[in-house]
A = this chain, B = another copy of it.
Amino acid sequence: MILSKSCEYAIRATVYVALKSRKNEKTGIIEVAEAIGSPMHFTGKILQTLVRKKILSSAKGPTGGFYVENGQDLFLIDIVRAIDGNGLFTSCVLGLESCSETQPCPMHEQVKPIRDLLMAEFSKKPVTGLVEEFQQHKYFLK
């Protein structure tokens, strides 16, 4: 596990909502959960966090649902940060509080560039890219 299960759901949910938003459609929790194979209530919680963190937007009421704002420039890293925070990229792989750049643990030098690589890959993956590949049936969301 690199990412938490919540984060995995969040990514897939965002892709699905973004795809629907291209057709100017808002998506409800039930449909999102069904689409990504996750528990409905829990998905609702995650979607709420994404709204709070400005990744997604939402509307209440009979014409409500979740959507991506037009012109929103989202990258995979934004979702990862919104749900899991920065721990993946910053905490010591040996679990040492004292580990830092100035006082590195024995694996710091080897692991840091790998983490930076991972962050770089997440940072350059636009959500629109994930949406397009999904639309072309290159992968599923469950």
Chain A interface residues toward B at CB < 8 A: 1-3, 5, 8-9, 11-12, 76, 87-88, 91, 93-99, 103-107, 110-111, 114-115, 117-118, 121, 125, 129-130, 133-134, 138-142
Contacts and interface: CB of A to CB of B under 8 A. Distances in A.
- Please give the count of copies of this chain that the complex contains: 2
A5 B57 CA distance: 35
A105 B118 CA distance: 16
A99 B5 contact: no
Given A5-B95, A8-B94, A93-B2, A121 B111 contact: yes
Given A114-B117, A114-B118, A95 B139 contact: no
A121 to B, nearest CB: 4
A83 to B, nearest CB: 12
Cβ-closest 4 pairs across A and B = A8-B95, A110-B121, A106-B133, A105-B139
Given A114-B114, A125-B106, A130-B106, A96 B142 contact: yes
